[in-house]
Amino acid sequence: MSLETLSPSSGHQETLPELRTNSFRRALARISHLTDDARIFPTLILLPVMFFFIVWNVIPTLWMIGLSFYRYSLMLGNEQFLGTNNYMSIMTDSQVWEALSRTFIWVGAGVAIQTILGLLLGFLFWGSRDMPGRRLALTLLFTPMVLTPVAVGVFFRLLYEPTFGIVNYLTTTVLGVQVNPLNDRAIAFGAVLLVDTWMWTPFMILITLAALGSVPKAELEAAEIDRIPWLKRLRYIIWPNAKFILMLGILLRTIDSFKTLDLVYLMTNGGPGNTTDLIALLLRRKAFEAFDLGWSSAMAILLLLTAIAFTSIYLYILNLNRRRQEAIV
């Protein structure tokens, strides 16, 4: 009886669950220490990423490399070892060279225009800290680059519509010229490039603002006090600090521009004629309309190598920038 009063059953019920969770936790803690080894742990936490990487990247890429030495068509279904013939036929294919040179013009002209516009507007927006409604303004300004390229392509088809599109209306009333931008061989390339410029100039503005933001304020103020002329400030203060971010931005834009597919595919699909046929569009057509997969694999590998070259340059500049930042800190 006294025992029962000393240890009331209700007390047991209160302490027991707590005890159980404690021992559970302790067991869990003990188990969680099993993987503490400095060799086991990193391997363990890299497993998921390695799984994704191997299944969705290594295997398909190896497969593609193998395929690039074969004649392989999904339509005809015949396989035949060709050695490096696919590569040879790419090198001698005038269509490929035309598409490549068109892509270079696309990238060169596009990135140059976007960089220049972006720099000018970036400098313009540099002093916009106390602009009324700045956050909304920047949202509207940066909207084009986060839009779905496909949606942009589709809605510019509406704007470029030759009968009721607003672009044609404006050129007719202001300039007295009727235009049908996406079906006119002379201006289709420019019309599509204009859309690309519209989408990506804001990106270069963003990069310019970031680059200017990386210039130490103290140096700028000192230059202000010393009344150093603008050109000198640009050359000795702004450029040395801003150049890395600018270069990263330009390089990133170059790579993305080189990759362009969705936007042009939806607007002209390479036409009219082949005036807007970029390399990515050509490859898509070869692979998924002609189903010439051996040839396409070889082409894809050449593009892969190009991308690796671009990546190396990008990383090189990135490391330069990192070293500079560490030097400042």
Partner 1 sequence: MTRASGWRRTAYHLLLWLVVLIFFAPVAWIILSAFKTTNQILAIPPLVVFEPTLDNFRQIVADPNAGRFLWNSLWLSIIAVLIALAVSFLAAYAFSRFNLKATNFLMFVLLSMRMVPAVAVVIPLYLMYSALGWRNQPLAMLAFYAMFSIPFSVWILKGFIDGVSRRFDETALVNGGSRWHVLFRVVLPQIGPGLVAAFIFNLIFVWNEFLFNLLLGGRDVRNIPVSFSTDLYSDGGMNWTFVAAMTTVYIIPPMIIIYLFQRYLLVGMTFGTVRGEV
Half-sphere exposure of 13 (CA within 13 A, CB side): 3
Shortest approach of partner 1 to residue 255 CB, angstroms?
Answer: 5
SS (H, E, C) 89-116: HHHCCHHHHHHHHHHHHHHHHHHHHHHH
Nearest alpha carbon to residue 248 among 310, 309, 196:
310
Shortest approach of partner 1 to residue 11 CB, angstroms?
Answer: 31
Nearer to partner 1, 81 or 230 (CB): 230
Considering just the CA atoms, what is the radius of gyration of the chain in Å? 30
d(CA 74, CA 280): 20
Contact assessment for residue 266 and residue 54, using Cβ atoms and an 8 Å cutoff? no
Shortest approach of partner 1 to residue 155 CB, angstroms?
Answer: 5
Shortest approach of partner 1 to residue 218 CB, angstroms?
Answer: 16
Q: If 0-12 CB within 10 Å is exposed, 13-18 middle and 19+ buried, where does residue 183 land?
A: middle
- Give me the DSSP letters along 151-184: HHHHHHHHHT-TTT-HHHHHIIIII-----GGG-
Nearer to partner 1, 98 or 262 (CB): 262
Nearer to partner 1, 275 or 291 (CB): 291
Shortest approach of partner 1 to residue 311 CB, angstroms?
Answer: 4
Nearer to partner 1, 11 or 213 (CB): 213
